[in-house]
């Protein structure tokens, strides 16, 4: 079975369980990402895409901040449905797209900001990492911003029943290549609902114009 189909089945099943109200990586608000975005002074009409946004509150927080061109891309239709039900009427202010970022067709050089705190570290195979990279390079405009949150080397090697790839700053820089310039970085200890700690690495890159 194709790995993308396996991932979709896994996450649809995952989001169908009642316990996924608070999965291990859940956090009420992505303060690090929201703070950096606020400092970028991105126009409220600028297109933003959240990769693997699922049930995250990130899109909702962007709408509350005034952004009006927000897209959430997730492989799980169930996750998107859950998020829309939570948002109620506000869901109309967001574009919801079901698809695998490793194979989805995105508008060329369209997005001002590519945000991913949920998906990239699950791409452990090199061919899928390269497919992700191609989607990123296709979708993000020159001069645009990338905010990516991955598991740091200190984090466990698995999450939500799947293996993850953990990253250092240098490994992310090598993956992106010379076209992206690191602007800032930070590590953040995330405490899961059951009290365990997982270290995240957040990086902000800007694509060269």
Q: What is the pLDDT of residues 3-16, one digit of tens each?
A: 666 676 666 676 66
List the chain domain ranges: 3-207
pTM flag (> 0.85): yes
3-207 homologous superfamily: Vaccinia Virus protein VP39 (3.40.50.150)
Torsion of CA 9, 15, 17, 18, to 10 degrees: 180
Phi, psi of 157, rounded to the nearest 5 degrees? -80, 0
> Using CA atoms, how far apart are residues 147 and 160, in angstroms rounded to an integer?
22
**Which residue is listed with tokens 């574009």?**
95
The whole-number average pLDDT for the span 147-165 is: 93
Q: What is the pLDDT of residue 198?
A: 85
Q: Are 201 and 149 in contact (CB under 8 A)?
A: yes
d(CA 110, CA 169): 26
Q: DSSP code of 127?
A: H
Segment 54-96, tens digit of pLDDT: 888 999 999 999 999 999 999 999 989 989 999 999 999 999 9
């Amino acid at each position: 079975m194709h790995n993308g189909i396996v991932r979709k089945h896994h996450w649809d099943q995952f989001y169908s369980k009642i316990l996924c109200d608070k999965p291990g990586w859940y956090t009420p608000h992505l303060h690090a990402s929201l703070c950096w975005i606020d400092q970028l002074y991105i126009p409220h009409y600028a297109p933003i895409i959240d990769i693997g946004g699922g049930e995250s509150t990130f899109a909702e927080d962007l709408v509350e901040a005034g952004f009006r061109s927000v897209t959430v891309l997730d492989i799980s239709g169930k996750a998107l449905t859950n998020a829309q039900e939570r948002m109620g009427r506000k869901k109309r202010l967001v574009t919801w797209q079901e698809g695998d970022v490793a194979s989805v067709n995105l508008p060329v050089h369209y997005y001002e900001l590519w945000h991913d705190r949920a998906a990239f570290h699950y791409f452990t195979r090199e061919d899928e990492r390269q497919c992700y990279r191609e989607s990123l390079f296709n979708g993000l405009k020159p001069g645009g911003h990338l905010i990516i949150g991955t598991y740091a080397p200190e984090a466990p090697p698995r999450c939500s029943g799947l293996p993850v790839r953990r990253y250092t700053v240098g490994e992310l820089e090598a993956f992106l290549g010379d076209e992206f310039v690191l602007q800032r970085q930070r590590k953040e200890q995330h405490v899961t609902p059951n009290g365990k700690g997982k270290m995240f690495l957040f990086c902000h890159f800007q694509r060269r114009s």
